[in-house]
Amino acid sequence: MRRSRSADLRQGPPSRSPDDPTRGSYTGDVSTPVGVLALQGNVPEHLDALRACGADARPVRRPSELAEVAGLVLPGGESTTLSKLLEAVELLEPLRERLRAGMPAFGSCAGMILLAREAVDARPDQHQLGALDVTVRRNAFGRQVESFEADLAVTDVHGGPVRAVFIRAPWVESVGRGVEVLARVPGSVRGPASGKVVAVRQGAVMATAFHPEQTGDARLHDLFLQRVRALGLASAPSPG
Ligand code: GLN
């Protein structure tokens, strides 16, 4: 009997051997830790993926923990709930502040929605972090579409396509100048999702409409960590 999708998804990523190209090439030489926003969603899976790339990854639940990390992953979940929780634990303004100051961030699904400047079909009181100059549409694949999978070519991700798992996912309706499109739903997929933008990057901030933590392929986490490392080195105090 085929297992249900939700049972599959609960399993978390399979472990990867060191020479597996999807394992990630990040060498872990960022001395400052990176964080995973740990209010809701697949927090352990994101921590595992970052650690598989060699990073010192920790959960972030309060402002003092945010202050200690050099970059932050915002997991999927429910953007309305995450927005409320961010406010309740007094992380909303400190997070906005860090993002304004250039902290690298990587949002997946609901994380992408929160990072966007604007979300269509969101509750009017939902907070937007505004770190990506994009408009996203919540539940864009259709409310009845629980999940959808596709193989995507992703800019700067080498070694073959990325298996993308979409779960009640948004897509990006429009991008501002300065936003790089990293991936689209392939044209071979029929229907309204065909060709839609599902991964973007703007400066230090990237986001995917899908869940890279679900597949054991750490290449997107690795891409995020490369940006953390590049910015960390660039901003390191010069000796003397
Ligand atoms: N549909 C959810 C939202 O609007 C996102 C789903 C997810 O993160 N898997 O926030």
Question: Tell me, what CATH number does 93's domain have?
Answer: 3.40.50.880
The pLDDT, as a whole number, for residue 1 is: 36
Q: Is residue 239 part of a domain?
A: no
Q: Is residue 96 part of a domain?
A: yes
Number of structural domains (the chain) is: 1
The pLDDT, as a whole number, for residue 142 is: 80
Does the CB atom of residue 72 touch ligand 1 within 6 A?
A: no
The pLDDT, as a whole number, for residue 17 is: 57
Question: Which two tokens mark 88?
Answer: 């309740």
The pLDDT, as a whole number, for residue 23 is: 55
211 is a catalytic site residue: yes
Angle separating helix axes 79-88 and 92-100, nearest 10 degrees: 100
The pLDDT, as a whole number, for residue 65 is: 97
Q: Is residue 11 part of a domain?
A: yes
Q: Is residue 240 part of a domain?
A: no
Does the CB atom of residue 77 touch ligand 1 within 6 A?
A: yes
Instruction: Enumerate residue ranges in the chain where pLDDT < 70.
Output: 1-31, 143-145, 233-240
Distances 5 to 71, 89, 110, 167, 172 between C-alpha atoms, Å: 31, 32, 19, 10, 24
53 is a catalytic site residue: no
Q: Is residue 162 part of a domain?
A: yes
109 is a catalytic site residue: yes
Q: Which of 46, 109, 127, 221 is catalytic?
A: 109
Q: Is residue 137 part of a domain?
A: yes
The pLDDT, as a whole number, for residue 11 is: 41
- Per-residue pLDDT reduced to its tens digit, 66-111: 999 999 999 999 999 999 999 999 999 999 999 999 999 999 999 9
The pLDDT, as a whole number, for residue 7 is: 36
Q: What domain range is 193 assigned to?
A: 5-234
